[in-house]
A and B are shown apart, each in its own frame.
Chain A
Amino acid sequence: MPDYLLTTSPQMAKRHARHSRFQWYGRIAIAISISFMLLMFTAIFVRGTGAFQKTMIAVDVDFAETMIDPKGTRVEMDLKQGNYKPLILAGLQEIIPGVTERKERNALYKLVSGGAVFDLGERVAANPGMIGTTQRVWIAASSEVDLYVKGKVDVESEEAVRRLKDQDIDWVKLLQENGRVKRKFNQVFFTKGDSRSPEMAGILSAALGSFFSLLVCFLIAFPLGILTAVYLEEYAKKSRMTNLIEVNINNLAAVPSIVFGLLGLAVFLNFFNLPRSTPLVGGMVLALMTLPTIIIASRSILRSIPQSTRDAAMGLGASKTQTTFHHVVPLAMPGMLTGTILGMARALGETAPLLMIGMVAFIVDVPKGVTDVATSLPVQIFLWADSPEKGFVELTSAAIMVLLIFLIFMNLFAVYLRRRLERRR
């Protein structure tokens, strides 16, 4: 065999070396990006999973009529606002004897969540028969106790820098010994809105706010974007006007999102007087922001549909519109949907424009429609990350997880739609 055919010949060896070197560069690059991603996900996961569980304390509460409903009217509003604090405190004092001083009593009461009184009020309002009985109820622990039970408080550190004092820790230990502390699934996180105390704060308000905003964004941006792209690509004659429009669309895609927020503030809120802080306006602003992306993506997809497809339909006597909507658009639809969903995924993560139109408010109520005040997932993450209480740290990570899950579902939905549309051909 002649030398030059062998892999060991100098020329060939050099080529092979270059080949394998390049392969290694690629592999290393992939490994680095994957490890960064893993690092990010584990960090979020490790910090965030705690938020899905919360600590509860069992207290025997004497639901005395004199404290809850002294007039005996049993009106729901009154029952909700009954004086439950002394009842809970009394229950706690029973378990932990010897707490009499005012200061100590206050410290003891701080073991349970500040929202516990509202929780009890709601339970009693739902079941007024409880009044006059003594019952063991599981009450949410305060955020500090919750963190301690989850092992996230450094008990070795100096007492002065801790919010949970040595005495509090002794009390919690006593409660634990009595089997009065347990951890359960944190339902509140998925069913409630924001709160000042971490243990009462939930993501639902923000998640629904994001959902409604994206819904509005989709309903506006998708048809507008697709129709614009189809018109510009299939119908419009090349002229100075279409050139101008094209340049402007490209420029708009590069405009920082906060500018769209300012525009929304000036036009939608101040001029049209649409309701502030609502998903309706948020969605409209996000639609403005996503529109250029959708148009550009759709146009490039339309351009990639071969001319022969159009010729085939036109040659059979299909009109321009029939050609476009029977053949070109269906072929382009999977790609256009992908473009739209990518644009919307970006919109889902946007904070800046929403701040401008007031979707940054402290929202406790869960929005029921597009005109209710709401916030959105990224804004909520921003708000929680900015809060001083330690309990919000896990909530922040948990909210990021919810946001990521949202994104994953959107992408899966895009893949599903694409598959379905492609199969139909």
Chain B
Amino acid sequence: MEKKMTEETSAQTDALAPIMTARGVDVFYGKKQAIKNVSLDIPENQITALIGPSGCGKSTFLRCFNRMNDTIESCRVTGDIQFAGQDIYAPKVDVVALRSRIGMVFQKANPFPKSIFDNVAYGPRIHGLSESKDHLAEIVVTSLRRAGLYDEVSDRLDEPGTSLSGGQQQRLCIARAIAVDPQIILMDEPCSALDPIATAIIENLMESMKEKYTIVIVTHSMQQAARVSQRTAFFHLGELVESGSTEAIFTNPEQERTQNYISGRIG
């Protein structure tokens, strides 16, 4: 009885040690503020969904976690974001190392115009993760297996990654992200360009990846958020309106705006 109690509370209050925490994060594009004072915890080995209407800043916020916003000249991030207790915006943090711990999958599948093998092998190569050619091949095969793509491409690893179908390309990108063995994988609308079958494959994949990785996913589909995530955060106009367990957000939201969005009244 008591054990059950603690489990429930932990689900609600993030007592489970978060692997990433954001506190008071503001993001500006030039003078325009895209994220306003957002604080959020990302619990380990769970799937956190970021939802909200278009242009509310989900992608912007997600890109703070691996400092991809650094690549945009006009973008400025303030506030405190910690990964495993370390401030990732501290001057001595190396973004290259950070991004090898926190991988990313983009909305539009973007395989390199190289062979399937080289796509997956690129990360391990630049980070020096493989001791030998055989080891590298092993990493590639394991990553493709984990991404559920291996059986489909095992006989044509030397064909260009761009020759795959859209869904396969997206799984190739997931395999590529997995290959550097990150702790967190950020996904920005990974299924938005895919048909329901390819989407289902990727959703199943995320479910199985959860044991090993922490996943943060941006999605436009409320059903998807409800299906795959344990935690949900709802953004509106750059603010974090509400966050909590997915079940709570979808069945019993505290805020009216959340309620309106979920029922389809803001979009």
Chain A residues within 8 Å of B, Cβ to Cβ: 237-238, 306, 308-319, 322, 326-327, 331, 425
Contacts and interface: CB of A to CB of B under 8 A. Distances in A.
A238 B73 CA distance: 8
B112 A315 contact: no
A322 B68 contact: no
A316 B176 contact: yes
A317 B110 contact: no
Contact of A425 (B66, B97, B114): B114
Chief secondary structure at chain A's binding surface: helix
B96 A318 contact: yes
A311 B103 CA distance: 11
Contact of A314 (B99, B108, B114): B99
B112 to A, nearest CB: 6
18 contacts: A309-B112, A311-B68, A311-B106, A311-B110, A313-B112, A315-B104, A315-B106, A315-B177, A316-B99, A316-B100, A316-B122, A316-B123, A316-B177, A316-B180, A317-B98, A317-B123, A317-B180, A326-B122
A315 B177 CA distance: 8
A351 to B, nearest CB: 42
Contact of A309 (B100, B110, B126, B177): B110
Interface residues of B, number: 28
Given A308-B106, A425-B160, 14 more contacts: A309-B113, A311-B104, A311-B110, A313-B122, A314-B71, A315-B104, A316-B122, A316-B123, A316-B176, A317-B96, A317-B97, A317-B126, A317-B127, A326-B122
Nearest to A238: B73
Nearest to B107: A308
B96 A327 contact: no
A311 B105 CA distance: 10
A180 B123 CA distance: 78
Contacts of A331: 113
B110 A312 contact: yes
B96 A319 contact: yes
A322 B112 CA distance: 14
B126 A316 contact: yes
Contacts of B64: none
Contacts of B103: 315-316
B113 A425 contact: yes
B173 interface: yes
Contacts of A317: 95-100, 123, 126-127, 180
B111 interface: yes
